[in-house]
Amino acid sequence: MIIAVDGPAASGKGTIARALAAHYHLPHLDTGLLYRAVGSGVARNGADPDNEADAAAACAFPDTMLDDPELRSEAAGTLASRVSRHPLVRAALLERQRAFASQPGGAVLDGRDIGTVIAPEADAKLFVTASADIRARRRHLQGQSRPYDIILADILARDTRDSGRSTAPLRQAKDAALLDTSNLTIDAAVRKAIALVEEQLKRNR
């Protein structure tokens, strides 16, 4: 069983994907970490994340790099959004993600193009979203040292980059269930996510 969870930054998709993986006893991949690893690699090389060749050169990183806590930083998130616009980068990481999705028993993957590009055949798809204001406030409450206005501007800029790129833009798959977490607690969002997945599984049986 493959479950695809897509959505913009700070929407709650990662938390929901991890909860779904635990509920259904499936392995989970935060595909955004792959792009964060590429972006961080570009930065460590002193290269330009907006240059496609520089970004593509950083795609051959070891899986152990995904355990680096630095990849969870806002700086790494911004770098990820910048390198993810490059077709060569997306092509380089495509099979890595598809191999994870197609492993025996299935998997849960979260990102921005799982239901549309990586696993369009997924058994269940969710598009998790929330208002930009709510998402910025969540980041601010998570201990971000930057002012709220700066966080909000960064989220809006990332939304524009992610939805406007020519290759695999952020968008809701036609057969994905929409889950707006703006006014939901974490527990309520997880319960709703499980219910939506169950509805899709029953419909697809």
- pLDDT tens, position by position, 36-81: 999 999 999 999 999 999 999 999 999 999 999 999 888 898 899 8
- Alpha-carbon distance of 125 to 197, in angstroms, equals 7
* d(C-alpha 185, C-alpha 16), whole Å: 11
Superfamily classification of domain 2-199: P-loop containing nucleotide triphosphate hydrolases (3.40.50.300)
Per-chain mean pLDDT for the chain? 94
CA separation for the pair 75, 43 (Å, rounded): 10
pLDDT tens-place string over residues 166-178: 888 999 999 999 9
How far is Cα 37 from Cα 45, in angstroms, rounded to an integer? 12
| Torsion on CA atoms 145, 150, 155, 158, rounded to nearest 10 | -110
pLDDT digits (tens, 9 = 90+) for 124-165: 999 999 999 999 999 888 876 789 999 999 999 999 989 998
Please state the domain extents for the chain.
2-199
Q: How far apart are CA 118 and CA 170, in angstroms?
A: 12
The answer to whether the pTM exceeds 0.85 is yes
Report the alpha-carbon distance of residue 62 to residue 64 in Å, rounded: 5
Q: Nearest-5° angle of CA 118, CA 190, CA 174?
A: 40
Q: Look at residue 115 and tell me whether its pLDDT is greater than 90.
A: yes
190 and 21 Cβ atoms separated by less than 8 Å: no
